[in-house]
């Protein structure tokens, strides 16, 4: 709606909505907005100062579930009093937190202090709200920008208001409505000295930290001073998702769906390349061919950068969607650089290189596991099933999950154009027509591909945000870690399988060290005892596209999952969709805020008694992957 006059009628309408626990989101006259998600015992307030610019400051409160911004100098005291009185009747007490920017002339003199985040907490009697004020101070001190920790001071003042303003409610009105007020002066490191030039990176870093500090303080106030008993601070956050978020989510998903990255970097002539490489005495670098790119990369990038990511008020969603935007840009650049030397340089920031401790673990695994020329290549020849038979097993597994969630829409396809034995793409299970699968590995493979990758894809589809099924930024590592964990817990992981995961890490390391294809092949074949075809397959996966470091994420992700389990991390967030480990606190926050729903599917492999026993052993005994190998559990 357009801005309305701040009349008694408008105030009465807002009060009526609040009493009915309806969301309020209205523009105010002369600029500004009131946004209140639901009945809450607090309100953030910002009033723009007269006579100076103050770009960005009002947006610091827009991430909260209850706020009023005043941009045109209007008097909102009647509106604030009405909100406070209404909410105080419901909760027994109410808190106003007014935020303002510290004027430039009051900033510190030295250069470092001008870049350091600084906050002044102001209250008439801080001891009345001691736990709330101390909580706010504690979490503000955790904010860091440019590696400079925040400085936080608490000030006692007769009035609580920005410079040049009267206190929004008199002490009499505050007491009448059992309302408390706290002020927060913020050093505006996010704009220049005139308040006109905006510094977005500093702003977003500050807003994220402020959002956490505010919710922690509101939670403390609610528990200590009201009749409400929330169980987690994130419950103080927003539940209302604005239209801009849905539009941005859909736009990012459309771009993600416009290309299949892995298929685009997977050679289509692998078998022919293998025959030529073998005929050439395993020398040189095979010539790989790739699918045509049925899109113009510059056009997709233009669409990507036209997405108005800055319109997202919610800092948690801004962080998740902003990370995805950067990742999509990197992947599009990789596709542009496909089959060139630049591809590897783009792969490293996208998927990482091999860290020293990861390489040590991989090398140790290859020492501990049998150094024989009996690997997946030999396994595949021993009591194996063909692609058609394996596809039937896969369809049965998908049908099992469909009994719990009929909306599941995944299919099984047998393809001639993939290098891997089996893979998931777009929620479908793709099987190489030429592949054979050892019978003792079928169950583990189904749990890996369907019980993890397709399950999280389907669970992501059930969520309100499309990013949960297309995949949040960097999701590959944790996804593959969970998938490989499923193989172990179900009793289907083999020593040969672990050798392959370790060998991929070694191969990625050699790739990043500048070793050519045939030299990496020779290391795997001669030094580590992999059969010629297996060594070729591992090397091809690593060199595809021009050098793809993604294959190191399997072992890195598995080690990361073990660390997560050692910390008693809950399992449910891992299956809500395709997420990275860093996203777990954000996902849990969104669940507490009732934005994300409980996932509809749970992995079958976690219901098996043997899997539960193995999982408990890992948690209680703090077993590492190397422990499992050394103790003979694998």
Alpha carbon distance 419, 351 (integer Å): 20
Alpha carbon distance 137, 121 (integer Å): 8
pLDDT class of 492 with cuts at 50, 70, 90: confident
* Backbone torsions φ then ψ of 38, nearest 5 degrees: -170, -175
* Residue 216 host element (H or E): helix 200-225
Residue 80 CB partners (closer than 8 Å, separation 6+): 43, 45, 68, 96, 168, 169
Question: What pTM value is reported for the model?
Answer: 0.88
Burial of 20 (0-12, 13-18, 19+ CB in 10 A): exposed
What strands lie across the sheet with 422-425, from one edge to the other? 412-415, 428-432, 422-425
Average pLDDT, the chain: 92
Give per-residue pLDDT as tens, 250-298: 999 999 989 889 889 989 899 899 999 999 999 999 999 999 998 899 9
pLDDT class of 377 with cuts at 50, 70, 90: very low
The stretch 397-425 carries a mean pLDDT of: 89
- Whether the per-residue pLDDT at 473 is higher than 80: the answer is yes
- Whether the per-residue pLDDT at 378 is higher than 50: the answer is no
Token match 């080690």: residue?
Answer: 559
Give per-residue pLDDT as tens, 545-557: 999 999 999 999 9
Give per-residue pLDDT as tens, 433-472: 888 898 888 999 999 999 999 999 999 999 999 999 999 9
Alpha carbon distance 591, 115 (integer Å): 35
Other Cβ atoms closer than 10 A to 330: 15
Alpha carbon distance 493, 506 (integer Å): 20
Range(s) of the chain covered by CATH 3.40.630: 8-230
Model pLDDT, residue 3: 44
- Whether the per-residue pLDDT at 417 is higher than 80: the answer is no
Does CATH place domain 8-230 in 3.40.630? yes
Model pLDDT, residue 419: 61
What are the Cα distances from residue 628, in Å, to 86, 408, 547, 613?
A: 60, 35, 31, 14
pLDDT class of 381 with cuts at 50, 70, 90: low
- Whether the per-residue pLDDT at 2 is higher than 80: the answer is no
Q: What percent of the chain has pLDDT over 90?
A: 82
Model pLDDT, residue 195: 87
CB-side neighbour CA atoms (13 Å) of 552? 28
- HEC string of 465-483 equals CCHHHHCCCCCHHHHHHHH
Model pLDDT, residue 5: 62
Give per-residue pLDDT as tens, 204-263: 999 999 999 999 999 999 999 999 999 999 999 999 999 999 999 999 999 998 988 988
For 26-49, b/e burial (b = at least 16 CB within 10 A) is: bebbeebbbbbbebbbbbbbbbbb
Find residue 180's DSSP bridge partners: 95
Model pLDDT, residue 380: 46
């Amino acid at each position: 709606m357009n801005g309305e006059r701040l009349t008694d009628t408008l105030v009465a309408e807002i009060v009526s909505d609040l009493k009915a626990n309806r969301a309020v989101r209205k523009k105010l006259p002369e600029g500004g907005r009131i946004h209140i998600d639901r009945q809450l015992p607090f309100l953030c307030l910002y009033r723009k100062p007269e006579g100076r610019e103050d770009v960005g400051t009002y947006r610091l409160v827009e991430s909260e579930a209850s706020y009023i911004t005043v941009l045109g100098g209007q008097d909102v005291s009647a509106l604030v009093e009405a909100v406070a009185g209404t909410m105080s009747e419901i909760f027994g007490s109410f808190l106003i937190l007014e935020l303002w920017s510290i004027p430039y002339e009051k900033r510190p003199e030295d250069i470092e202090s001008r870049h350091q985040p600084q906050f002044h907490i102001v209250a008439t009697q801080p001891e009345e709200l001691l736990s709330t004020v101390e909580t706010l101070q504690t979490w503000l001190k955790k904010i860091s920008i440019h590696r400079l920790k925040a400085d936080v001071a608490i000030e006692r003042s007769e009035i609580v208001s920005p410079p040049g303003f009267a206190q929004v409610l008199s002490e009499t009105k505050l007491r009448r409505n059992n309302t408390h007020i706290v002020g927060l002066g913020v050093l505006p490191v996010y704009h220049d000295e005139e308040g006109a030039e905006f510094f977005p990176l500093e702003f977003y870093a500050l807003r994220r930290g402020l959002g956490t500090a505010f919710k922690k303080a509101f939670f403390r106030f609610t528990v200590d001073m009201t009749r409400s008993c929330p169980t987690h601070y994130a419950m103080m956050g927003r539940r209302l998702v604005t239209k801009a978020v849905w539009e941005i989510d859909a736009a990012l998903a459309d771009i993600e769906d416009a290309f299949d990255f892995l298929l685009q970097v997977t050679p289509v002539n692998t078998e022919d390349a293998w025959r030529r490489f073998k005929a050439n005495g395993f020398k040189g670098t095979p010539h790989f061919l790739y699918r045509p790119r049925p899109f113009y990369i510059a056009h997709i990038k233009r669409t990507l950068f036209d997405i108005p990511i800055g319109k997202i008020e919610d800092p948690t969603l801004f962080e998740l969607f902003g990370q995805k935007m950067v990742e999509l840009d990197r992947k599009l650049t990789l596709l542009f650089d496909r089959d060139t030397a630049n591809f590897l340089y783009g792969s490293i920031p996208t998927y990482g290189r091999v860290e020293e401790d990861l390489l040590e673990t991989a090398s140790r695994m290859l020492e501990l596991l049998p150094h024989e020329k009996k690997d997946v290549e030999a396994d595949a020849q021993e009591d194996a099933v063909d692609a058609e038979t394996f596809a039937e097993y896969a369809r049965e597994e998908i049908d099992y999950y469909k009994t719990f969630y009929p909306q599941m829409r995944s299919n099984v396809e047998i393809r001639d154009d993939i290098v891997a034995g089996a893979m998931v793409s777009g929620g479908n299970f793709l099987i190489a027509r030429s592949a054979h699968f050892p019978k003792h590995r079928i169950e583990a493979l189904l749990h890996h591909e369907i019980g993890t990758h397709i399950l999280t894809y389907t669970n992501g589809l059930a969520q309100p945000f499309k990013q949960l099924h297309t995949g949040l930024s960097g999701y590959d590592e944790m996804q593959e870690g969970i998938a490989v964990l499923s193989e172990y817990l179900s009793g289907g992981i083999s020593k040969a399988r672990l050798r392959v995961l370790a060998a991929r890490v070694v191969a990625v390391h050699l790739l990043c060290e500048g070793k050519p294809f045939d030299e990496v092949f020779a290391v795997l074949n001669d030094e580590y005892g992999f059969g010629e075809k297996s060594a070729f397959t591992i090397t091809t996966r690593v060199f595809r596209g021009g050098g793809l470091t993604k294959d190191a994420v399997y072992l890195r992700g598995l080690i990361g999952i073990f660390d997560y389990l050692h910390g008693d991390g809950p399992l449910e967030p891992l299956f809500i969709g395709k997420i990275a480990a860093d996203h777990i606190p954000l996902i849990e926050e969104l669940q507490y805020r009732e934005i994300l729903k409980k996932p509809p599917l749970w992995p079958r492999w976690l219901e098996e008694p043997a899997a539960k026993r193995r999982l408990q052993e890992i948690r209680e005994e703090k077993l590492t992957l190397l422990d499992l190998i050394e103790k003979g559990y694998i």
